[in-house]
Amino acid sequence: MTEAQELADLRKRVTDLESRVRRLEHPGPPEPPSTDGQGAITGTVRYSGELTAPEQLRWAITLEAEAARLLPGEKIAEIFTALSSPVRLVMLRELIAGPAAPKQLQELLGYSSPGPLYHHLKPLQSAGIIERDGDGRYHVPAPGVVPLLLLLASAGDVAGEFRGASAHDR
């Protein structure tokens, strides 16, 4: 190899390295998921969570990406519809932390009568997001706590709440 060729090769390598460093320091938006050439997404989706209070809960699930994409939509739409109100999200956050009596929720929301409260509780109950116990208090069933926190976090991610976080932190 001639000296000119070596110099050209060295320049190309430096340019490539600079480009790689720029991409690492300033990553752009993620690339779309790969497909199998026929429109199916390939790979896996994993999520998990581990809580220690108010009780110890652990949840982990791994799905094929295409299976997640093709989950039946009716029940999922019901969940999203039930959570589509800012008032219901306030209630959900409170109930994830622990059970609450209707009066507590009514006070939290600043309602003077229980009518509006029950208007918002009904869709959450119908979707299976919350339940009422024998004492009349509402709660999120234990198996739903981590997935609902993950749903809130995922929605926050889609909304851009974590844009400053590095890919490693996400």
Q: Which region holds residue 32: left if phi is over 0, alpha if psi is between -120 and 50, else beta?
A: beta
SS (H, E, C) 88-111: HHHHHHHHHHCCECHHHHHHHHCC
- Is the pLDDT reported for residue 146 higher than 80? yes
d(CA 85, CA 82): 7
**pLDDT at residue 109, as a whole number:** 97
Q: Tell me the three state secondary structure of residue 59.
A: strand
Helix residue ranges, H only, the chain: 3-25, 65-69, 73-82, 86-97, 102-109, 115-126, 142-158
For residue 113, the tally of other CB atoms under 10 A from its CB is 8
- Is the pLDDT reported for residue 104 higher than 70? yes
Assess if CATH 1.10.10.10 describes domain 72-170: yes
Where does CATH 1.10.10.10 sit in the chain?
72-170
d(CA 127, CA 81): 9
Express each pLDDT in 16-64 by its tens digit.
778 777 777 776 655 555 556 677 788 999 888 898 877 888 888 999 9
Express each pLDDT in 68-78 by its tens digit.
999 999 999 99
**pLDDT at residue 15, as a whole number:** 83
Q: Does the predicted TM-score (pTM) go above 0.85? A: no
Q: Closest Cα partner for 87 from 113, 54, 124?
A: 124
d(CA 21, CA 13): 12
How high is the mean pLDDT of the chain?
87
